[in-house]
Structure 1
Amino acid sequence: MKKSLILVGTQWGDEGKGKIVDYFSSKFKAVCRFQGGHNAGHTIYQGKEKFVLHLIPSGIFYDHVKCFIGQGVILSLDSLLSEIDEIESKGINLEGKLRISRYCSLLLPIHAKIDQLREDHKNSIGTTRRGIGPAYEDKTARRSIKAFDLEDKDLLKKKVFDLVSYYNYQIETIFNSTTFDPGEVLKELIEKYKKASKYFGDVTDTLEDIYGDGDPILYEGAQGTLLDVDYGTYPYVTSSNTLATSVGIGSGFPKSIFSDVLGVAKAYTTRVGEGPFPTELFCDDGKKIADIGNEYGATTGRPRRCGWLDLEALKYSAKLNNLTSLCITKLDVLDDFNQIKVCIGYQVDGEQSSFKSRLLHKSKPIYKTIDGWGCSLKDAKNFNELPIEAKAFIELIEEFTKIPVSLISNGPNREDLILR
């Protein structure tokens, strides 16, 4: 039996995971999202058409692939229905193809409101302002509205009214802003669920059946390792566990941990929002990377902060996720650089240091400078066709992280991939 595959980001998100999941989806019968919410933004090109998926797994464009959203995902029905409408407007019927766990915690408009008020108030950490943090707070505090609550109207009413009362107190007394009508919140929630209810079902048992039939499963991670709520650059992190090890809990299928793990990393580093970023560039090189790489958030539209590849951080991610291989994306963005720098360690208070998230705010990068290749990579179809300098760049990544690079992206389109 072919092994299942967990695909995770190894940086601060935005590594180009959507395209890579899209590539691998043709080789699997099932793709499952297992954490995060509609703060994810996975960009896929279908010919000349661009899609940005926030909740629905990136395998949705293959006829033979069934897509699942596991219970570890925080679910916005607004975002879900919008995404379904966009995909079905292109002639893709999702009924029977998409299944969502009834155990998902729901994200309501009031979560987005409180998130925005907090970000505007003080001590902003640069969230996507979509309500992900407050929704995960509710899950941990045991006041979440679960999808299955929509099947019990009396219980649902009580939970909605209690939740709205909880947040209205903050909205009014702390932020002096307009509160929500619990009756309207309940009414809108019921109406939206009626439209989406046909997509909900048992994800755990279905994944078990697929696995039992000998078919491997592709697990699609969101955000990136350095945004993990426990192992990332806290507090400038997301609200979920983004590591490959969280797939068993988030999918509801513990056997998922017996999978290969592919880590996706850009050939440079980007970050959106606040937080430490040792290799960030404030010079023309940083602007050049941003312009060539079109570095604007797929979810927020915010410009991304850009910097050189941080191999020390990548090695940290490789260990945490127990990576079996790496995919390097956007190698072509570096085509026009005569020299390229990579971070191979840090100086902290005058002493050399490895990656430690608690010290990253005062970590100064130690760089190794290598020659650029100074030509376009777009026509390269295999590793041997790459310039010697580009091959040396990939081999340096492998040598430093001790992880083989099995896939290289040398352009934005589906076919712009070099398989090793």
Structure 2
Amino acid sequence: MEDVTATLSKPALKIGPYQVDPPVVLAPMAGITNVAFRQLCQEYGAGIYVCEMITARAVVERHPGTMHMMTFGAAEKPRSMQLYGVDPKTMAEAVRIIVGEGLADHIDSNFGCPVAKVTRKGGGAALPYKRRLFGNIVAESVKAAESAGVPFTVKFRIGIDDDHHTFLDAGRIAEAEGAAAVSLHARTASQRYSGQADWSAIARLKEAVQTIPVLGNGDIFTADDALRMMARTGCDGVVVGRGCLGRPWLFGELEAAFAGREVPQGPSLGEVARVLRRHAELLVQHDGAKKAMRDLRKHMAWYFMGFPVGSDLRRAFAMVSSLEELDELITKLDHDAPFPADALGPRGRQGSPGKVTLPHGWLEDPDDDCVPEAEDMHSGG
């Protein structure tokens, strides 16, 4: 078992001017980390809570749906946004709009998405293979953000597959071009979300990148996982993704663990129902009742994971259409049911590994800095 004493005594994480204590970041997740979910998580603990991925071209073109996604709660500090793009000029222009209009306080960038519709056009986890193009995007974005003192950070994966690792080059390039921090999801794109994250890659990145913080991402499902990752790798902070699905209170557990306090026990089913109801209220405030209830349905299986909720009741929750109906269904739950110990493991999408779809000839020249045609992505992934 790792000695976490050094982890608890590490200097506070700083990203640009922002001290992040505890050193925890909510990973942007498409269709999940909207303003409602971020506010819910933030009610449990401090950290940086990143909004859903925003497409740079959609910002430049002021797409109405994208502008609505770029909404932050009054208490969100710093307001953190993740941008996706493959063109240095478009990314820089999007950053200039964001910082010039005061739309965010921190900008992250997505070079880790493994989804085929992204990688087949050279975006996401495919892009760091093109070292010069990657460097140009980071350099232009950093320059555009610096004018307003907004830190620009970079998130990527180990590489395309086991034969094409890019993370060490990506980390060194991002550091050299002025990024404020880097985050590594310790899987390759070909793994997608399957198997185990290779935390040793985070340790290697930490050794390679000396002057800016390195954050680790992958397989953090409990507060103890976060402490173990930092103890094992020496990373400066953790990025939490699927582990908080249906468990926004995880951020309270993380705050307690990093402060050296006892981690609270998991909530009873009655408390989970209260959290679910709060989530619904926040979604209604953001999107209106119809869209909110539709969005909430995807969270039901995560909230009730492992709890003794009958199949008929689960189906009813998964089809809920109003707050009134939700309230009625909540009365049918066993509010005293304790949090199940077997609900602490992986949750959310896992899938299976597979070949990464790339543009024709993509692997022929890693120094080719031509911009691929991947700019028609919709915000949110």
Into which bin does the TM-score normalised by the smaller protein fall?
Answer: 0.3 to 0.5
Q: Scaled by the length of structure 1, what TM-score is found?
A: 0.31
Q: Scaled by the length of structure 2, what TM-score is found?
A: 0.34
**Which has the larger strand fraction?**
1
Q: Which has the larger radius of gyration?
A: 1
